[in-house]
Amino acid sequence: MRILFLTDNFPPEVNAPATRTYEHCKEWVKQGAEVTIITCFPNFPQGKVYKGYKNQWRKIEWMDGIKVIRVWSYMSPNKGFFKRLLDFNSFALTSFFAGLSEKKDIVISTSPQFFTSLSGFLLSRKKNVKWIFEVRDLWPESLWMLKRKSFIYKLFSWFEYFFYNKADKIVVVTNSFKNTIVKNGISPKKINVFFNGSYFEDTPTNNKDAALIRKNLKLNDKVILGYIGTFGIAQKLPFFLDLANKLYKRYPSIHLLFIGDGADREEMVKKVIANNIKNITILPPIPKNEVNKYLSAIDFGLVPLRNNPVYHKVIPSKIFEVAAMKKPILLGVEGEVKDIINKYNIGISFKPEDPNDFLEKVNDIFKFEINEQYYNKFFIDFSRKTIALNFFKDIKKLNDEKY
């Protein structure tokens, strides 16, 4: 079976869409599939092409048996609505033309890059093959900055349900996404839920790495709350800088460690320096193969999102990355993910952007204990390999149902 997969993000980018797609496709190759990825040159989140790459019309490379076709796109930082739209539309256009020459049996396109859906739909019709629309964010609902009565919002809503209706199969990453789509008239039989996950069996804690990192950061005697990822508007990381002094006065042994890049990083660094904040360390982004080393050095994984109802339906992939290292989670998100945290007893939750509740819940860190039985059940239910194989079974089934 020949699979064509369109995604805006792919390794060496390290965000959730890139990781999910790569790890799924790697498993599908092991099952005998011929997988071709069409993506742009790595540039997320700064909108600057990574070292060793050049933003050119087309280039082919191979990664773990996956054929990767990289195409030109207009590159924009992960901020600024209209520049991001230009970024998205340029990739939709170039990915479509790049896919025309690829003979495939099935087409998959993934959001949150909304207009990749258009390219996937058109390619599937051009090739007369089935199309799977993987929904990782509900557009335009997740664009909370848009007014619901605006022309752009209504236009995006029309496109959204046009794609839902035209897709042969819809794959979502949370039950909340499925419920929302069904409430708007799409048959539940058309939608499958395949959560994010992790390779839990491949991520043992390395005590030597952890000890060295803590020593180098001069944090040996601290309880580290660590965040590794995008410094974007969704995460609202400046919230933690605003309560840093209160946190230090109440819990002097607590230290916040932020690692990554994004729209808010520069201002956060300036604020830490200007206000001489001693209980926060901000580091530049690290390669993917270094992430687990730093996760092994923290005591709690910090997983926050902005206090907005649109984020109540998401399950941040960071919970799986942190749990894979057998580290508990300090979660600042409401909704389905909070239910998971509580069900498996893998962490503590605080109300998003609520400084008083955050400070109160930090106190629970000192008495939190890992329950191995719950953790093992979590590992079974959210194994990336198992999820990828179940996804693949669905792809094969759909492919067998020829037009």
Give residue-wise pLDDT tens across range 170-213.
999 999 999 999 998 999 999 999 999 998 876 656 678 899 99
- Residue 191: the pLDDT is 97
Q: CA 253 from chain center: how many Å? A: 30
pLDDT band of 112, cuts 50, 70, 90: confident
- Residue 144: the pLDDT is 60
User: pTM score, two decimals?
Assistant: 0.89
Q: Would you say 238 and 264 are in contact if contact means Cβ atoms under 8 Å apart? A: yes
**CA neighbor of 110 nearest in space, from 133, 128, 144, 78:** 133
**CA neighbor of 192 nearest in space, from 209, 211, 178, 206:** 178
Give residue-wise pLDDT tens across range 370-385.
888 998 999 999 999 9
Calpha distance 182→325 (Å, rounded):
35
The DSSP secondary-structure symbol of 159 reads H
What letter represents residue 135's amino acid?
V
List domains and CATH numbers for the chain.
2-197+383-400 (3.40.50.2000), 200-381 (3.40.50.2000)
Give residue-wise pLDDT tens across range 204-252.
566 788 999 999 999 999 999 999 999 988 899 999 999 999 999 999 9
**CA neighbor of 375 nearest in space, from 349, 340, 335, 403:** 340
